Structure 1
Amino acid sequence: MRELVYYVAVSLDGYIAGPDGQFDAFLMEGDHMGDLVRYADALPTAAAEHLGVAQPGTRFDTVLMGWNTYAVGLDGPGGTSPYRHLRQIVFSGSRRAQAENLVVTDADPVDVVRELKQEPGADIWLCGGGRLAGQLVDEVDRLVIKRHPVLFGAGIPLFAAGAYQPGTFDVVDIRTFDSGVAVVEYARRR
């Protein structure tokens, strides 16, 4: 069965973005950047093309985003379809967009994920944001946390507060880098 994988950068104090949605404090240079190839399917399509990185679609074939996460890339090279190599599902109750391989829906994220998990294919990438992650926390099978040595002090938390069940995850892999970034992969204990 397909897994829902929350693959995301986070500050030492647990934020995926600052108070105004900024994420420019995350380290964009350093020895940890080579590790991105391990999750090449999670690179924006235009960035992967620019870097000459192949995106085989074997790790992820679907990406889930809240509207604010999706909106970050609207002015970038990918425009309205930042991950056009993947099926992109954006959750919004009021906004709409049309682009290649993009669906904007107001459906219940839990119902959507449960349906996706029953389909054949590669894993499903939960890109963000914190509110969507809070809604889907009980459906997350694997966490891949890129912990950066920065503090935001406030902002968008890894998981928004919610009425989810306590859960335990086991460490599957830890990779540390001279840049200070640590990538820790967890699998939900069943």
Structure 2
Amino acid sequence: MRNLTYFVATSLDGFIADPTGGFDDFLFEGDHMTALFEEYPDTLPAQGREALGIDAPNKNFDTVLMGRATYQVPGGLPSPYPHLRQYVASSRLVSTPPDVEVVADPLAKVRELKSESGLGIWLCGGGRLAATLLPEIDELVLKTHPIVLGKGIPLFAGEFPTARFTRASTRTFDTGVVFTTYTREEAA
């Protein structure tokens, strides 16, 4: 059974983007980026992989699920992750390229995907989608940046049940960015 991993950058105060969905305040240079490129090349969009000369096989994920706003980020690509199976959770999105599938029921889709064999499933935002999928999230990989945004799109948005996770690992970089991995605690 495959895992669903919410792999996302966050501010110290728990926002994954500013109120407009932008993420320009996050750090894009430094030793944490080197680790990202080496350990998670599959999470880089096609234009980033091309610019960096990354043509490596996927290490962690073969599937990505994103919310409509994440998919339609300004300046985004119509097929941002062609090296992954791409799904967009939306009830309003009508047109996408053939390699991007729109799903109206992301919870059902994740359950279907988890029953298949393969690499992991990457939840690539946003906050409302993460709240909806919280019952199925097996792992959180939070890339916490040393910034306070004060407002924006929260890590989880909306109502959701309490879920407990256990810290599995923490890495601190010279940039001040901290990668923390949490795994879901099994219900007692």
Fold shared by both chains (TM-score > 0.5): yes
* Runs of 4 or more consecutive aligned structure 1 residues displaced over 3 Å after TM superposition: none
Q: How large is the Cα RMSD of the aligned pairs?
A: 1.2
Per-residue deviation, 1:123 = 0.3
Q: Deviations over 1:44-97 (max 9, x none)?
A: 022112101234123101000110000016x34xx2000011111001111122
Corresponding residue for residue 84 of structure 2: 86
Label 1:50 to 1:173 Cα distance change in 2 as closer, same or farther (>3 A). Answer: same
Q: Deviations over 1:135-182 (max 9, x none)?
A: 0011100000000001110110000121x3222111111110111100
Letter of the 2:169 partner, please give it: D
Letter of the 2:178 partner, please give it: A
Which secondary structure does the structure 1 equivalent of 2:124 belong to? strand
After superposition, residues 1-190 of structure 1 pair within 5 angstroms as: 1-36=1-36, 37-72=38-73, 75-76=75-76, 79-106=77-104, 108-162=105-159, 164-190=160-186
Which secondary structure does the structure 2 equivalent of 1:112 belong to? helix
Per-residue deviation, 1:100 = 4.6
C-alpha contact 2:86 2:101 (8 A) present in aligned 1: yes
Which secondary structure does the structure 1 equivalent of 2:93 belong to? coil
What is the number of equivalent residue pairs in this alignment?
185
C-alpha contact 1:48 1:55 (8 A) present in aligned 2: no
Letter of the 2:120 partner, please give it: D
1:130 and 1:98 map into 2 onto residues whose CA distance is 22
Unaligned stretches of 5+ residues in structure 2: none
2:112 and 2:81 map into 1 onto residues whose CA distance is 21
Q: Deviations over 1:106-136 (max 9, x none)?
A: 2x11111000000111100000000100100
Per-residue deviation, 1:105 = 2.2
Per-residue deviation, 1:98 = 2.4
C-alpha contact 1:84 1:100 (8 A) present in aligned 2: no
2:171 and 2:54 map into 1 onto residues whose CA distance is 21
TM-score w.r.t. the length of structure 2 is 0.94
Unaligned stretches of 5+ residues in structure 1: none
Counting aligned pairs with the same residue, the percent is 52
2:144 and 2:72 map into 1 onto residues whose CA distance is 23
